[in-house]
């Protein structure tokens, strides 16, 4: 009896579907008579645990333990070399009065708020264009995916080069049109939008492929029905395509929020958080406190604030989208 | 997509205008996307960096920057470190995650759902939270500046278990039953039935793991304190100084760092396309 099973599709389906437990096939080894030898019964009972043991070993040592240790660390002061000691809530008190902490948290939030609509619009827009009946689709797609080959650090080096004040490509091109050189990374107003542009540049290919897959999975008869009802192209995009892509959009939004609130690589490479603290992100500030000033406890407390913020935002996004889906 | 659904008064004219717009927009996006990389490539082949004028490289291309970066610079060591770390981490993760994924997909055992939810719930935790205690741990175990310090924490990340669980659930369980009738042990079934059928899933997970490790920055920046274990991203980050950056070297190193990712993408793209376009992201 062959069971028709859906192929593993997009990453979104992987993550979303895994949240709901799927009924497990009855394992024939479980239905053997009780007279099976004791040794066999022990192996059967322990077997599954032996399969997950290696993963949980590393998971426990390098994820669960550090998580618990991080919670403890938020109540500790002192340095790695001189030793840590308990300080109660002092780290949290210090955070409340730390203006640079709030500044960097705001920078990260501001960056994320700009990035999410940018990557969603770019990704959905390009996916809609590529899904039309066009020639050279593969060529366009390859061009869009090219930047994904660069790591975030490599992309940052490339953009440092393009954005140089004196002789960078961008300022050369602007010079041709007669616009004076722009101090891209030295202008506190411009520096965060520049990082947004960098993220859109590097992520466009990924988001386009993600949304293309979602669009291709929409049954064509829905578009036929829409056109019989007299819908224009834009109407069928707005009333058929977008609503049916909600799960993918939700997945992309939640993941992009979690990733982008942790922005570190590009500001570290390109500006070290400057000018002033204009591009100091929350993770950069945690890094600075922990590894430049050796304030482990304080940095851990800041990281915990970030964790709580991420959890609240992810929860809020799930609730908002659920309400919209259920109408 | 929308063009066929829509029948305006002048179908051909409407279509042509839309097509022109589509090609123009895609060409512009393609140019903005790939242009910087082409410019990077051009700079890396320039003899000496002065003020880079686009296309001027065509007059005298040179491998001098690549020669310097590969033979007169710690770059080669970073490259080796990155390859070793990413390769070992990928192989071990594929093994650990498919093993656990198999148990979560097929076995029944007490606490299965709670253990699975435990893994799932840690997906949201930012690296910044576990970073500090993991550094304290690595410090205490004397692992700072070693390959182990780069590889071991990577093995804890749970996302691969979900991916492999999802994939293994799509494999018909009749094949396992057949193996069992043939007298295979559970481990035998995993190695000889499950793993061979998992190759597309393993390819996608392997690709993502390798790329994640290849571009990992924050943890290596902290724990790889010398060229002995320093990987490409923290190494690359040291090249552009505040002033007087040798952009010839910087661009040659950047291009070199992208080549392995390009090769991996090219080798695995057919699996990636399968993985993406299997296509039931929405319920239709």
Cβ of A134 and B19 within 8 Å?
Answer: yes
pLDDT at A3: 45
Residues 105-134 of A with CB under 8 A from B: 125-126, 128-134
* ipTM for the predicted complex: 0.85
Among residues B152, B142, B164, the alpha carbon closest in space to that of B89 is found at B152
Q: Give the Cα separation of B43 and B167 in Å (integer).
A: 44
pLDDT at A8: 43
Q: Give the Cα separation of A50 and A130 in Å (integer).
A: 47
In a domain, A119, yes or no: yes
Nearest to A143 among B30, B134, B281 (CB): B30
pLDDT at B68: 85
> Distance of CA A286 to CAs A237, A309, B22, B53, Å?
43, 15, 44, 40
Q: For chains A and B, what is the number of CB pairs under 8 angstroms?
A: 378
* Least Cα separation, residue A314 to chain B (angstroms): 9
Q: At what angle do helices A191-216 and A137-145 cross, to 10 degrees?
A: 140
Among residues A240, A220, A242, the alpha carbon closest in space to that of A231 is found at A240
Q: Give the Cα separation of A225 and A215 in Å (integer).
A: 16
CATH architecture of the region B74-277: Orthogonal Bundle (1.10)
The average pLDDT across A110-139 equals: 92
Among residues B134, B136, B129, the alpha carbon closest in space to that of A301 is found at B129
Nearest to A217 among B32, B104, B281 (CB): B281
Q: Are A269 and B253 in contact (CB under 8 A)?
A: no
Q: Which residues of B touch A167 (CB under 8 A)?
A: 51-52
Among residues B104, B76, B123, B105, the alpha carbon closest in space to that of B231 is found at B76
CATH for A158: 1.10.3720.10
Give the domain range for residue A322. 98-326
Residues 67-106 of A with CB under 8 A from B: 67, 69-70, 73, 80
* Least Cα separation, residue B62 to chain A (angstroms): 19
Nearest to A151 among B128, B233, B239 (CB): B233
Residues 179-208 of A with CB under 8 A from B: 201, 204-205
Q: Give the Cα separation of B168 and B104 in Å (integer).
A: 9
Question: Along the 284 residues of chain B, how does pLDDT read in single tens digits?
Answer: 444 444 445 556 667 888 888 999 999 999 999 999 998 888 888 876 555 555 555 667 788 888 888 988 889 999 999 999 999 999 999 999 999 999 999 888 888 899 999 998 888 899 999 999 999 999 989 999 999 999 999 999 999 999 999 889 888 888 888 888 888 888 888 888 888 888 888 998 999 899 999 999 999 999 998 999 999 999 998 887 655 678 888 889 999 999 999 898 888 877 776 655 443 333 32
Q: Is pLDDT of A7 > 50?
A: no
Q: Best of B15, B281, B283 to disrupt the A interface by mutation (most A CBs within 10 Å)?
A: B281
The average pLDDT across A109-117 equals: 96
- Three-state helix/strand/coil letters over chain A: CCCCCCCCCCHHHHHHHHCCCCCCCCCHHHHCCCCCCHHHHHHHHHHHHHHHHHHHHHHHHHHHHHHHHHHHHCCEEEECCCEEEECCCHHHHHHHCCHHHHHHHHHHHHHHHHHHHHHHHHHHHHHHHHCCCCCCHHHHHHHHHHHHHCCHHHHHHHHHHHCCCCCCHHHHHHHHHCCCCCCCCCCCCCHHHHHHHHHHHHHHHHHHHHHHHHHHCCCHHHHHHHHHCCCCHHHHHHHHHHHHCHHHHHHHHHHHHHHHCCCCHHHHHHCCCCCCCCCCCHHHHHHHHHHCCCCHHHHHHHHHHHHHHHHHHHHHHHHHHHHHHHC
Give the residue on B whose Cα is nearest the Cα of A79. B136
Cβ of B106 and A222 within 8 Å?
Answer: no
Burial B215-249 (b: 16+ CB within 10 A, else e): bbbbbbbbbbeeeebbbbbbbbbebbeeeebbbbb
Q: Are B193 and B176 in contact (CB under 8 A)?
A: yes
pLDDT, tens digit (0-9, with 9 covering 90-100), for A85-99: 888 888 899 999 999
In a domain, A169, yes or no: yes
Q: Which residues of A touch B153 (CB under 8 A)?
A: 62
Cβ of A153 and B215 within 8 Å?
Answer: yes
pLDDT at B231: 95
Cβ of B129 and A304 within 8 Å?
Answer: yes
**Number of residues that make up chain B:** 284
Number of domains, chain A: 1
Cβ of B174 and A65 within 8 Å?
Answer: no
pLDDT at B2: 44
Cβ of B217 and A264 within 8 Å?
Answer: yes
Cβ of A268 and B34 within 8 Å?
Answer: no
What pTM was estimated for this model as a whole? 0.85
> Distance of CA B179 to CAs A47, A307, B46, B101, B184, Å?
17, 45, 60, 19, 6
Q: Which residues of A touch B131 (CB under 8 A)?
A: 286, 290, 303
Cβ of B280 and A303 within 8 Å?
Answer: no
Torsion, Cα of A138, A152, A196, A180 (10° steps):
-100
**Cβ–Cβ contact A220 with B under 8 A:** no
Give the residue on B whose Cα is nearest the Cα of A256. B124
């Amino acid at each position: 009896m062959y069971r028709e099973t859906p192929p593993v599709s997009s990453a979104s389906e992987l993550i979303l579907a895994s949240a709901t437990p799927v009924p497990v096939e009855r394992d024939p080894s479980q239905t053997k008579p009780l007279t099976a030898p004791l040794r066999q019964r022990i192996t059967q009972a322990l077997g599954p645990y032996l399969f997950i043991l290696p993963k949980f070993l590393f998971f426990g040592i390098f994820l669960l333990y550090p998580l618990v240790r991080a919670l403890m660390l938020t109540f500790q002061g002192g340095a790695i070399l001189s030793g840590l000691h308990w300080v109660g809530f002092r780290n949290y008190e210090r955070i409340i009065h730390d203006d640079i902490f709030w500044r960097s948290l705001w920078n990260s939030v501001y960056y994320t708020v700009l990035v999410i609509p940018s990557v969603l619009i770019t990704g959905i827009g390009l996916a809609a264009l590529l899904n039309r009946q066009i020639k050279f689709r593969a060529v366009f797609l390859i061009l869009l995916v090219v930047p994904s080959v660069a790591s975030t650090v490599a992309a940052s080096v490339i953009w440092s080069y393009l954005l140089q004040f004196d002789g960078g490509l961008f300022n050369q091109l602007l010079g041709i049109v007669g616009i004076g050189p722009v101090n891209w990374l030295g202008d506190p107003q411009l520096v965060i939008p520049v990082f947004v542009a960098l993220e859109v540049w590097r992520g466009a290919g990924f988001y386009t492929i993600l949304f293309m897959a979602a669009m291709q999975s929409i049954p064509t008869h829905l578009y036929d029905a829409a056109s019989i009802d007299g819908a224009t192209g834009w109407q069928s995009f707005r009333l058929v395509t977008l609503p049916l892509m909600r799960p993918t959009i939700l997945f992309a939004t939640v993941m992009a929020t979690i990733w982008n609130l942790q922005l570190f690589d590009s500001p570290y490479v390109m500006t070290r958080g400057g000018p002033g603290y204009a591009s100091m992100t929350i993770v950069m500030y945690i890094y600075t406190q922990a590894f430049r000033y050796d304030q482990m406890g304080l940095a851990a407390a800041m990281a915990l604030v970030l964790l709580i913020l991420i959890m609240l935002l992810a929860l809020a996004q799930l609730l908002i989208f659920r309400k919209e889906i259920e109408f | 997509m929308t063009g066929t659904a829509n029948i305006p008064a002048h179908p051909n004219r409407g279509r042509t205008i839309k097509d022109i717009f589509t090609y123009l927009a895609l060409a512009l996006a393609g140019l903005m996307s790939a242009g910087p990389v082409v410019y990077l490539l051009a700079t890396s082949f320039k003899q000496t960096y002065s003020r880079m004028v686009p296309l001027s490289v065509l007059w005298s291309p040179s491998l001098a920057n690549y020669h310097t970066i590969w033979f007169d610079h710690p770059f080669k060591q970073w490259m080796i470190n990155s390859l070793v770390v990413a390769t070992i981490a990928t192989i071990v993760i594929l093994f650990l995650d498919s093993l656990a994924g198999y148990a979560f997909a097929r076995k029944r055992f007490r606490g299965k759902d709670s253990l699975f939810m435990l893994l799932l719930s840690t997906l949201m935790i930012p690296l910044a939270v576990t970073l500090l205690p993991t550094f304290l741990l690595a410090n205490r175990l004397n692992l700072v500046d070693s390959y182990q310090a780069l590889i071991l924490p990577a093995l804890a990340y749970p996302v691969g278990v979900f991916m492999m669980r999802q994939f293994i659930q799509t494999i018909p369980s009749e094949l396992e039953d057949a193996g069992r009738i043939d007298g295979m042990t559970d481990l035998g079934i995993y190695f000889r039935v499950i793993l061979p059928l998992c190759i597309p899933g393993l390819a996608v997970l392997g690709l993502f793991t390798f790329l994640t490790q290849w571009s990992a920055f924050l943890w290596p920046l902290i724990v790889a304190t010398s060229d002995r274990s320093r990987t490409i991203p923290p190494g690359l980050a040291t090249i552009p100084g505040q002033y007087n950056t040798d952009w010839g070297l910087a661009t040659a190193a950047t291009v070199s760092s992208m080549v392995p990712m390009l090769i991996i993408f090219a080798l695995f793209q057919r699996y990636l396309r399968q993985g993406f376009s299997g296509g039931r992201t929405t319920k239709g």
